[in-house]
Structure 1
Amino acid sequence: MTSTLGLDPEVTRKARELAARAAEPVIDLATAHTTVAVERASLRLAGMVGADTTHRAGDVPWVNRVVDTVQEHCGLAQGVLLPVSHAMREGSYTDLTELAEATAAGQVRYSIPSGNARRGAVSLSRKLVRAGIRRLDRNRAERDRMIRKIGDPPQRPWVYLIVATGDIDEDVVQATNAARAGADIIAVIRSTGQSLLDYVPEGATHHGFAGTFATQENFRIMRAALDEVSKEVGRYIRLTNYASGLCMPEMAVLAGLERLDMMLNDCMYGILFRDINPIRTFVDQRFSRQVHARAGILINTGEDNYLTTADAVDEAHTVTVSQLLNERFAHEAGLPDELLGLGHAFEINPAIPDSFRLELAHALLARELFPDAPLKWMPPTKHMTGDIFQGYLLDGFFNLAGVLSEQSILLVGMMTEAVVTPWLSDRDLALTNVHYVRNAAGNLREDFRPAPDGFIAKRAQQVLGEAVDLLGRITEDGLLDAIGNGTFGLMKRPADGGKGAGGVVAKDDGYHNPAIDFFESGAA
């Protein structure tokens, strides 16, 4: 991609070098630890499904029951799969569900095997996890086959639309109608607060709050519905959910098992906006991204959220810094650029002079820094006042900035933002706005070139320079300290605080997890 902003290649190179240096200690920390969520996710890959429906406090997923019991009996420093596979062999259980039921009944005593018993347990654990990995591979191949047969959306940016009724059956109605009206990607928003649950609910659900619970069955139901409507409309409709929160790794695995196409997955979102322990988040994030890489799932990062709490002009460089860090963490986990949907947003106060030029400068900067990444462009929310006519106009400007800067994924802005949960009619009007701008100005980029010494180019250069300066300070102080000091989104999150810290475990030298081995080797 030819540079239109006059960015100095040396400054760009330095920015990536500093991001790598800032990320390295955190990567080392992540590889030296596991979490209860990583171990539960590994059991799900091995084939453990279902829940204990007899518990007095409600259904408890079998993966939670088994991981908690293993942690109590022998700890998780060598992983859960080693003692589980040893118990399978010792007890001659026919499958993992039978083992889980025996665990709940108090009939299993987990231990770390040694010698020949360890070798047998390692062999069995690899066999169990290999089946899950191969299912990820088959789903990736099936996605590719369907896209070849049905076809991709013919225009970029892809149109991304949210459904959030709380009832999976009603979500299907809204999602399929949205696809017929022109949406290319359907995102099912999770029920409020699900990111703070340290378990994944079971089954189809019909009672979410401002969203629908993310469960394996709900994933399956929506994917099946979108497969049918994809055939009807003649383009493959992609499905998005969330790999974030305390169950980030499990969500990633369930997405791969049910052939979701995109997952929201950010290196710092849970830390900053859900107060989840930073170390827990970075450990969970690395494993989840390894799953995404294997399953061919495109991730969406969450830099847009920073601009809802911090000023979108003064703190624009923190978005660039986060994008560079997300890129580094993604590459280290095996995600290529084509699966890296870096996020940013149209959140500058529209009352500021030249607000649109500033938005365009920021969008063009992201496009030029990450030419091969399918960037996700987020609509205005912070300055939507309830004036639906002003909001509709502002969304039109957002759509125009999106096509001018060649964004890849355009989340549909709603004129009723800050008023009500959108009706189907609101979504239809919002899609009409997107289609008009995309059809009328979709090729305008080939005619648009910012003046070399003009406002837009200078603003982009300024933001990149400020990002390099900030990255320099982060490499000196450490990323965890930078997060603790409120560098991103004005949120101060110390490394020893936050939810889920008790679920972090330092690995022993004998730690065993065949899922990670398969991800890092590419074998199966």
Structure 2
Amino acid sequence: MSKIRLDINKVDTARNHARAIAEETQRFVDLHTTVAVERTVLRLLGVDGVNEEGVPLPNIVVDHLKEKGALENGAAFYMGNAMVELSLSPQEIAEEIAQERLDLTKLPVHDRFEVEMKVEDVARETVEKIKGNRKDREAKLEEFGDKSGPYLYVIVATGNIYADIVQAKAAAKQGADIIAVIRTTGQSLLDYVPYGATTEGFGGTMATQENFRLMREALDETGDELGRYIRLCNYCSGLCMPEIAAMGAVERLDVMLNDALYGILFRDINMKRTLIDQYFSRAINGYAGVIINTGEDNYLTTADAYEEAHTVLASQFINEQFALMAGLPEEQMGLGHAFEMDPEMKNGFLYELAQAQMAREIFPKAPLKYMPPTKFMTGDIFKGQVQNALFNMVTIMTGQKLHLLGMMTEAIHTPFLSDRAVAIENASYIFNTMEDFGNEIEFRQGGIIEKRAEEVLSETVKLLENIKEEGLFRTIEMGKFAAIKRPQDGGKGLDGVVKKSSTYYNPFFELLQEGGAN
């Protein structure tokens, strides 16, 4: 039952509009592939490593096919054909191409059924590994138990994976439930995934498969010591979105930042490229049991949290529908929002509470991701501690799940271990002392909170109806989200979008949807 008496008809209308928006966009997505999607296929077939110049082998193979005008048929077909013809593994074939000893498009074309069977044998091995990772996670949660309240979510970001490991272990021992390794500044704009363990990053650490492996190993070790399962988070947004999702699935990451619109709005990545890439990345995350985090919180760092609250809810509805289309269940949708009202606004806490309660009721199965105040953190650590305490209160009152801890030294420096400990202590105290508070209170009928929720929901319905009429691409061009305008054929990565041929082949969509990973 709605505690703030939301108009369920309006919720249904908004969801129907969002579904229509996603379905129209999906028709475009289904007709196209991208260089990142095809590189992901190769990675899932076992292609890894770099050449002598440090260029990843998946890039070399995909660029080879793109130059030959053959990518429209899918990298999987050419790789399978070469496997039949040459009796080599995908890795060996990629190495031959890197040495310029092989042209995939000049090999004799074998029977398509034989080619596809060859590919699917290898593809199933990877899918089984991902399924095994999911079962390993579930076994650990069964052994240790899972947390019923909010997950305490903290960030490490030294630039050096080995230093990150030290900080991550310390944070886990302090009480953190999720460790997010912030990705180095600008990596989302690289159209390749760096290789190996890395020790140099700016504002974060390179997202690489080896870094994922090292951190997963470290958190498992610490979790076993503590008798808790520690979740690992990274970022699969950007130009390599599906590749990083695949790497995370293989290395058993648990949470991935994976928004449909974030890269378009905040990194100027072409909208067509992003929307195609997000579909495959979410199919992978869905199968792997990964909780995705969406990026609506970022809207409120550029637009006013009070005036533009309806754009956050509209984006949550759209992200929900894109995720469902990719086979990702509601229980893995960490739809995002943030505590970003101006502290000088009278009754700002009530408006924050209205937004959080509304999101909780509209998306009841979703492990909502709630972000701390950042925009109005001034460097006054005492005021900052109070702002974070109010944020923590909203989380426990409204049942948010992925709670990114606010740091009192936000806007001063990268948090020290002591800052993180204080943040965990603050949240833990409030979550404990107010654990059942949300179940004990009722909201006054016709009061400020209820009226505010109704106002935001009504504005969301209008916005989604308008988007349905205009189309999502045109809406983004008009700057309806975060007050940022992006052209359909502008931004980074458009040259990596390829229209599929009638014989296009990618075995993984079907394999990832065969009854789910359970």
Q: Tell me the TM-score normalised to structure 1 length.
A: 0.97
CA deviation map 1:455-510 (0-9, x unaligned): 00110011000000001111111111101110001110111111000000011110
1:117: how far off?
Answer: 3.2
1:90: how far off?
Answer: 2.0
Give the aligned partner of residue 382 of structure 1: 375
CA deviation map 1:10-62 (0-9, x unaligned): 1111010111111111111111110000000011111111111x12xxx0111
Question: In 2, distance between residues paired with 1:520 and 1:372?
Answer: 21
Alignment of 1:159-170 (within 5 A): 159-170=152-163
1:116: how far off?
Answer: 4.3
Alignment of 1:394-413 (within 5 A): 394-413=387-406
Question: In 1, distance between residues paired with 2:232 and 2:4?
Answer: 34
Give the aligned partner of residue 89 of structure 1: 84
Alignment of 1:242-321 (within 5 A): 242-321=235-314
Give the aligned partner of residue 437 of structure 1: 430
Question: In 2, distance between residues paired with 1:222 and 1:453?
Answer: 50
1:151: how far off?
Answer: 2.0
Q: Say if 1:32 and 1:147 are closer, same or farther in 2 by CA, change over 3 A.
A: same
Give the aligned partner of residue 63 of structure 1: 58
Alignment of 1:317-328 (within 5 A): 317-328=310-321
Partner amino acid for 1:38? V
Verify: 1:125 aligned to 2:124, yes or no: no
Question: In 2, distance between residues paired with 1:251 and 1:301?
Answer: 16
Give the aligned partner of residue 8 of structure 1: 7
Partner amino acid for 1:353? K
Q: Say if 1:509 and 1:357 are closer, same or farther in 2 by CA, change over 3 A.
A: same
Verify: 1:140 aligned to 2:126, yes or no: no
Tell me which of 203, 207, 211 is aligned to 1:210.
203
> What's the secondary structure of 1:245's corresponding residue?
coil
Question: In 2, distance between residues paired with 1:319 and 1:103?
Answer: 46
Verify: 1:98 aligned to 2:92, yes or no: yes
Give the aligned partner of residue 39 of structure 1: 38
Partner amino acid for 2:23? E
Question: In 1, distance between residues paired with 2:107 and 2:497?
Answer: 23
Partner amino acid for 1:68? D
Consecutive unaligned residues of structure 2, counting only runs of 5 or more, are none
> What's the secondary structure of 1:299's corresponding residue?
strand
Consecutive unaligned residues of structure 1, counting only runs of 5 or more, are none
1:96: how far off?
Answer: 2.2
Q: Figure out how many residues of one structure are paired with residues of the other and give that number.
A: 517
> What's the secondary structure of 2:314's corresponding residue?
helix
Verify: 1:75 aligned to 2:70, yes or no: yes
> What's the secondary structure of 1:246's corresponding residue?
coil
* C-alpha contact 1:83 1:110 (8 A) present in aligned 2: yes
Question: In 2, distance between residues paired with 1:272 and 1:345?
Answer: 17
1:97: how far off?
Answer: 2.4
> What's the secondary structure of 1:111's corresponding residue?
helix
* C-alpha contact 1:280 1:503 (8 A) present in aligned 2: yes
Partner amino acid for 1:189? I
Verify: 1:349 aligned to 2:345, yes or no: no
Question: In 1, distance between residues paired with 2:367 and 2:117?
Answer: 39
Question: In 1, distance between residues paired with 2:109 and 2:224?
Answer: 54
Give the aligned partner of residue 145 of structure 2: 151
Partner amino acid for 2:146? D
Shifted more, 186-195 versus 511-520: the winner is: 511-520
Shifted more, 106-115 versus 480-489: the winner is: 106-115
Q: Tell me the TM-score normalised to structure 2 length.
A: 0.98
Give the aligned partner of residue 500 of structure 1: 493
1:111: how far off?
Answer: 2.0
Question: In 2, distance between residues paired with 1:443 and 1:176?
Answer: 30
* C-alpha contact 1:73 1:110 (8 A) present in aligned 2: no
Partner amino acid for 1:447? E
1:113: how far off?
Answer: 7.5
> What's the secondary structure of 1:489's corresponding residue?
coil
1:85: how far off?
Answer: 1.6
Question: In 1, distance between residues paired with 2:514 and 2:225?
Answer: 39
